[in-house]
Chain A
Amino acid sequence: GQQLNQSPQSMFIQEGEDVSMNCTSSSIFNTWLWYKQDPGEGPVLLIALYKAGELTSNGRLTAQFGTTRKDSFLNISASIPSDVGIYFCAGEYGNKLVFGAGTILRVKS
């Protein structure tokens, strides 16, 4: 079945720094989604990408749908303490979402 490789597994960065994470797969996906999960809560959708090559921003977050439809990246600019959490990519294929294993983001204030 489809699998997503998400990297890095975790990051520990200085407040104010830019962050980059990505997801790759050997399979093609129709939609890429990026979620954030805070401790004790469910994932919350950050950005949805529906077309190959699409670049979308949501405040300090920017994500792109790779042109091959097999990858996506998420950038966070000027990180702040509340960016702490787990970020998941998800690909949609055959009306099912496949999630990456997550990137744990820790910010040093």
Chain B
Amino acid sequence: DSGVTQTPKHLITATGQRVTLRCSPRSGDLSVYWYQQSLDQGLQFLIQYYNGEERAKGNILERFSAQQFPDLHSELNLSSLELGDSALYFCASSPGRVAKNIQYFGAGTRLSVL
């Protein structure tokens, strides 16, 4: 158990809909990272928050947004969903602000867009 909690584990929705994925980092970790893992593209970095503020941005679509709350949990919002958004979405956390720190991954949320 990494100590990172992601909910829900599975999500099935339709095209055009909006969903919210939730992540609770390990106790004491200030950084949260979001990744997308799809069959044809591997793990892709989406975005990082550190202590409530956006720290780094990767290949995140404009339809996607994230935030980190004062209690350090984070949410990833995906809107106007398309079939190609079906993937595993992982959250990771680390104590510091730099990506090379050990990142602890949650078990992921599997999103299926039908």
Contacts and interface: CB of A to CB of B under 8 A. Distances in A.
B108 interface: yes
B100 A92 contact: yes
Nearest to A35: B105
In this complex, the interface size class of chain B, counting residues with CB under 8 Å from chain A, is 20 to 34
B45 A97 contact: yes
A42 B100 contact: no
B100 A48 contact: yes
Given A33-B100, A44-B2, A95-B56, A101 B42 contact: yes
B98 A42 contact: no
Interface bracket on A: 20 to 34
Interface string A74-109: 000000000000001010101111111110000000
A90 B92 CA distance: 14
A42 B107 contact: yes
Given A95-B56, A99-B43, A101-B42, A45 B99 contact: no
B58 A41 contact: no
Contacts of A30: 100
Nearest to B102: A45
Given A42-B107, A95-B56, A96-B58, A31 B100 contact: yes
B42 A42 contact: no
B103 interface: yes
Interface string A39-65: 011111100101000000000000000
Nearest to A30: B100
Interface string B94-114: 000111101111111000000
A41 B107 contact: yes
Interface of A: 30-31, 33, 40-45, 48, 50, 88, 90, 92, 94-102
8 contacts: A40-B107, A42-B108, A44-B2, A45-B102, A95-B97, A97-B100, A99-B44, A99-B45
